[in-house]
């Protein structure tokens, strides 16, 4: 790797006590979310646009760097290092001016960076829940879509976030910044429409029987949502509902031909013997979405969940299990995604038809209650 000049960290010590201002929002609304924004087996480059503070979580010393620059972050199981500052327990790095940013892998952040000992170098961003949502919405739903659709997405994303944190098993962070949690590319760049949607639904979540639940969402349901295919059972709001507003969306219909090599590779990975002969629908849900597929090979016949097949052969091409036709290895269908929870293009359609976000949420999560945290 090329060497990168480091910010000189021969800096002065500052008192480590913090005055916490009184908050007008609830503790949950003001809760800091820990998001894994970068992970690598090599040192990670961090660029700053202004002055920063560094807090050693071992000695509680606090240092100051007064100029913008670039430094490297690296970790082992026993020690972390940012520039020339080392710590056995971890470092917190924060911007002195909220208008400045950290740039990591081309994305901009303005929360506090947390680096703790780990086998791989991990950079975690700490920031308030509502600010985190500023960086989720434009990557899960287009910021140019109607405000009422964005509001529905904000409530769904907020609920999903808080439910995920209830059961997180990670040590150094709460959430990933990709589809393993929700897409997040930093809250430093804020779109006006996204800010409005988040702010005007601040603290609002969905609950069923007084409990948060995973408010799944997807691009296009193909006309009817269903229980997410990986759930053996689901709460009432995820049982599925008729949509009727996504027929003209970009993901309304699709067609794709799979190569024999793609399918045979899937068979090999799933220990299904033989070469592919045919694929057909074995069973359907009441909505018409395929539940199981029958796979015939030169050596066996196997029934497998449709979603397992879809993900295994490429879910960006084999877009849904709402299959409308099969001819050899050419599949056609409706919708895009797993089909559970909020249909995003349906939400857009409802908003364009004059429905508000509460009506949108009621349609896609029937039986759920909209409440404040």
Strand partners, 265: none
Nearest to 63 by CA among 14, 7, 112: 14
CA distance 33 to 125: 8
CA distance 300 to 302: 7
pLDDT of residue 168: 73
The 8-class DSSP code of residue 8 comes to P
The 8-class DSSP code of residue 11 comes to -
CA distance 82 to 361: 44
Which residue shows structure tokens 């975690």?
Answer: 124
* pLDDT tier, 23 (very low <50, low <70, confident <90, very high otherwise): very low
Give 178-225 pLDDT, tens digit per residue: 999 999 999 899 999 999 999 999 999 999 999 999 999 999 999 999
Six token digits for residue 176 = 């990933």
Six token digits for residue 254 = 């699709």
- Segments making up each domain of the chain, as ranges: 1-128, 135-231+340-373, 253-334
pLDDT of residue 2: 36
Give 114-124 pLDDT, tens digit per residue: 999 999 999 99
pLDDT at 25 over 80: no
Average pLDDT over residues 132-147: 97
Average pLDDT over residues 289-311: 97
Residues 6 or more apart whose Cβ sits within 8 Å of residue 105: 38, 44
pLDDT at 66 over 70: yes
Q: Are 216 and 338 in contact (CB under 8 A)?
A: yes
* pLDDT tier, 20 (very low <50, low <70, confident <90, very high otherwise): very low
Six token digits for residue 216 = 């799944």
pLDDT of residue 30: 66
Six token digits for residue 107 = 């994305």
Q: Are 201 and 155 in contact (CB under 8 A)?
A: yes
CA distance 126 to 113: 6
pLDDT at 234 over 80: yes
Average pLDDT over residues 13-18: 30
CA distance 335 to 358: 23
pLDDT of residue 98: 87
Average pLDDT over residues 168-185: 90
pLDDT of residue 17: 29
Which residue shows structure tokens 């910044």?
Answer: 177
Average pLDDT over residues 345-363: 98
pTM here is 0.88
Give phi and psi for 88, each to the nearest 5. -85, -20
């Amino acid at each position: 790797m090329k060497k990168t000049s480091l910010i000189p960290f021969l800096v002065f010590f500052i008192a480590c006590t913090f005055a916490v201002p009184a908050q007008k929002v609830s503790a949950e609304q003001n809760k800091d979310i820990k998001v894994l924004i970068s992970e690598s087996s090599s040192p990670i480059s961090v660029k700053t646009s202004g002055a920063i503070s560094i807090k050693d979580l071992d000695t509680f010393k606090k240092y100051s760097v007064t100029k913008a620059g670039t430094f490297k972050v690296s970790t082992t199981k026993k020690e972390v290092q940012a520039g020339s500052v080392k710590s056995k327990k971890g470092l917190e790095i924060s911007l002195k001016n909220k208008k400045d940013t950290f740039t990591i892998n081309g994305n901009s952040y303005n929360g506090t960076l947390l680096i703790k000992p780990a086998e791989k170098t991990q950079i975690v961003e700490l920031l308030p829940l509502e600010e985190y949502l500023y960086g989720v919405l434009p990557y899960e739903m287009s910021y140019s879509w109607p405000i009422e659709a964005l509001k529905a997405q904000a409530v769904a994303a907020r609920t999903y976030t808080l439910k995920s944190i209830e059961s997180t098993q990670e040590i150094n962070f709460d959430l990933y910044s990709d589809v393993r949690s929700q897409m997040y590319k930093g809250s430093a760049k804020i779109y006006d429409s996204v800010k409005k949607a988040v702010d005007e639904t601040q603290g609002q979540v969905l609950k069923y029987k007084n409990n948060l639940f995973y408010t799944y969402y997807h691009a296009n349901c193909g006309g009817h949502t269903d229980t997410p295919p990986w759930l053996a059972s689901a709460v009432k709001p995820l049982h599925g509902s008729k949509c009727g507003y996504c027929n003209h969306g970009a993901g309304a219909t699709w067609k794709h031909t799979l190569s024999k090599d793609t399918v045979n590779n899937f068979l090999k990975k799933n220990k299904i013997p033989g070469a592919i002969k045919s694929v057909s629908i074995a069973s359907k849900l009441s909505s018409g979405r395929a539940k199981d597929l029958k796979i015939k090979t030169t050596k066996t016949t196997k029934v497998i969940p449709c979603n397992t097949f879809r993900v295994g052969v490429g879910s960006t091409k084999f877009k849904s299990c709402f299959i409308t036709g099969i001819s050899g290895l050419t599949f056609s269908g409706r919708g895009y995604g797993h089909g559970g929870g909020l249909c995003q293009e349906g939400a857009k359609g409802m908003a364009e038809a004059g429905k508000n976000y509460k009506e949108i949420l009621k349609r896609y999560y029937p039986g759920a209650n909209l409440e404040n945290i």
